[in-house]
Structure 1
Amino acid sequence: MADQPGQLDLFRERLPAKPYHTDDLRAGLQVRSAERAALARYIQPNGPTHRFWLVYDIDRPGAAIDWSDRGAPPPSITAKNPENGHAHLIYGLKTSVRTASDAKSAPLRYAAAVDCALQRLLGADLGYSGLICKNPLHPHWQVTTWEPRLYTLADLDSWLDLKPAQDRRKRLPDYGLGRNCNLFEQLRLWAYRAIRQGWPDFEQWQAACLDRALMYNAGFAASLDHQEVRHVARSVAKWTHQHLDAASFSAWQAVQGRKGGKAKGEAYALLRAQALRLRSDGVSIRSIAKELSVGTGTVHSWVSTKR
C-alpha cells in the first residue's frame, strides 16, 4: 500500500515542542527542538498532558501487517525495523486525550480502556512505556501509512471488547493509559487522608505528594515518564491543599459529634461534594465512606439525593 504523506505531515506537526529523542537507545535520550528531534531514529510522539497517538510495540516478525489477522483496526502508521520485522503501530486520534490529572476522569478512563484492549488485541509488549517510538519520519525504518483518517475513541471501540473495563469499581491494568488513571486514583485517595497529618504548607505538601506518586509509579511494570508523574502530583497537591484545611476538618468533626438532628454547615457541604465527586469517578459507596469516615448510609443518601 502506498504511503500517504498526510499522516506523516500530521505526525511532524503534532510533535511536542521539545521532544525526547535519540539515535541510539543505549546512549540515552536528549531534549531539543522538534525540528532537530525529527531527524533522530527514535522520538517522543506525545507530550505529558495530551495523547495524540496511541503507539504499540510489536516484537515479532510480521508485526507491521498481522494486525489484520488479529481483527484489529488498521494503524495510521507502521514503522518497521528492516532487520527483524518488529514494528511500532501508531494510531492517530482525531481529538487528543488529555492525560493531565485535571482531566475529567470518565473520558480518561474510557480512553484507557480502549488503549488497554487494543494493546491486548494486537499482542503488543505490555512493558512498553510509550515514551518514545520509532520515528516514522526517519529513513532507517520501513514506514507505511494505512488508514488516512484519524480515529475517534468510538471508532476504535467498535473493534474491541471493553466488557472487562465496564465495572468502574475495578482497577484498570497497569499499562498504557491505565497507568495514568491508576496513579491518579491511588494518589488522590492517599492525599485525602495524609493531608490531615499536620496540615503542611503547600511546598512541603507538594513534595510529599510527588514522593508518594513516584513510589506508586515505581510499582508499574513500565513506569510513566517523570514529567507525567510531576503533573499528577502537582494537580493532586493543589486541589487537596485548596479544598481541605484544618478549619473545615474541625468543623466536620464538630458536626460528627452531634447526636441527632441534621448535619449542617460548610463541613457537611464539603464532605457531600467530595462524596459526589468520588462517586462520579466510579468509586464505590463503601470506599467513599471509608475515605471520608462516614457511614455507608450517609454516603448513599448524599449520592442519591439531588439538591
Structure 2
Amino acid sequence: MGCIKLFEDYLPNRPYHTDDLISGLKINKKDKAKLARLVQPNGPTHRYWIVFDLDKSNAGMHWDDVGAPAPNLIARNPANGHAHLLYLLQTPIRTAIDGKTAPLRYAAAIEAALCHLLGADRGYSGLICKNPINSHWIVQEWESTPYTLDDLADYLDLTPAKAKEKPVEDYGLGRNCMLFDELRAWAYKAIRQGWPDYNQWLNACLDRATGYNVNFSTPLDISEVRHTAKSVAKWTHRNFNRGTFDDYVSRTHTSEIQAFRGALNGKSKRLKGIDMLTSGASVQEVMRELKVSRRTVFYWKGKP
C-alpha cells in the first residue's frame, strides 16, 4: 500500500482543513476534508506522521544534502519549492496520558534532533500540512516503508539512553511531554484541595492546561490541550480521592507502602517518584525505594 493511501487512511475522522490560511481553518468529515490543499495529518491522541516545514527553494532534496533519512512523502509548492517532509511511523506514538512515557520522550528527542539536522522551521505547529492527496502540490514518495524510532535515530546518533539524557524541548512532541508533566504534577496536589466533583475538576484541569500551553513558543492546538486536560482529570479523579489518600498517608510500614505503590504499575520510575513526593514521602524514602540518587530526587521535586 502506497504512503499516499496510508496518509488518507490515517487522517482523523474530522480533521482541520483549508484551501487558504487567510480564510481560516474548518472542520469537516474526512471525506470532505481530504480534498483540501491543507489538512490535519494527526489526531489529538496518536502521532502517525512526523512533519517538518522547510522554507527552502531546494526543500525537495535538502534532506539528502544533510544526510537525513529519506522522507516517506514530500509535498512541495510548485511556486517556490518550499515543502513539507512527512515521515511515517511504523508504530504510532500515543500522546494521551495513558500512553507510555518512554516512547513519547524518545520520539520527541528524535523529532527535535531531526528538525535541527534538516534546518526546519521550529515555529511550525504541525497542526496542518500540505495535503499530498491534493494535486496542487508536487508530491514525491521517497521511502515506502514506515520508520521505527530506532530507524530514524540511526541517522542522528540518538539511542533511547541518550534521548533520556537530553532535556525535553519546547517543540513538537516535546510540548506534549511538558504539558503532561506540568499538568500531572499540579493535579496530584490540587485535587486534594476540596476533592471537587468531576465537572469542577475537569474545568480546573482545562484552565490550568490552557495556562501552561500559552507559555509555549508555539502552543499546541486547543483540541490536544482539551484531550490532555480530560485525560489527566479523568485519571486523577478516579485514582485520587479522600479515601485512598487518607489510607495512603496512614501507612507507615515499608511493605505496606510498597504494596500500595505497586498498584501504580506501568508508571515510569520518574512518575512514581513524583507520586511519592507529592504524597508526602521524604527524599530518603524515594531514594531508598526507587534506588535513585539524591540529585535525581531533587530534580523531580524542583522540575516535575
Would you say same fold, with TM above 0.5? yes
Q: How does 1:1-307 map to 2 (within 5 A)?
A: 6-162=2-158, 166=162, 168=164, 171-255=167-251, 262=253, 269-270=259-260, 280-282=268-270, 290-304=277-291
TM-score, normalised with respect to structure 1: 0.87
Cα shift at 1:251: 3.3
Cα offsets for 1:176-235 (capped at 9, x unmatched): 111111110110001011111111111101110111111111111111111111111111
- Distance change in 2, residues 1:162/1:190 (3 Å): same
Structure 1: which 5+ runs fail to align?
Answer: 257-261
Counterpart of 1:111 in 2: which secondary structure?
A: helix
Cα shift at 1:161: 3.2
TM-score, normalised with respect to structure 2: 0.87
2-structure distance, mates of 1:191, 1:26: 38
Counterpart of 2:87 in 1: which secondary structure?
A: strand
CA RMSD between the two structures: 2.5
Cα shift at 1:270: 3.6
Letter in 2 for 1:109: R
2-structure distance, mates of 1:146, 1:170: 30
Larger gyration radius, structure 1 or structure 2:
1
2-structure distance, mates of 1:170, 1:160: 13
- Distance change in 2, residues 1:180/1:165 (3 Å): farther
Moved over 4 A (4+): 271-274
- Distance change in 2, residues 1:47/1:72 (3 Å): same
Cα shift at 1:140: 1.5
Cα shift at 1:284: 9.2
Cα offsets for 1:254-294 (capped at 9, x unmatched): 446xxxxx3575x77445656x766x253595x66542322
The answer to whether the Cα contact below 8 Å between 1:252 and 1:268 also exists between their aligned partners in 2 is: no
User: Which position in structure 2 is the counterpart of 1:259?
Assistant: none
Instruction: Figure out how many residues of one structure are paired with residues of the other and give that number.
Output: 292
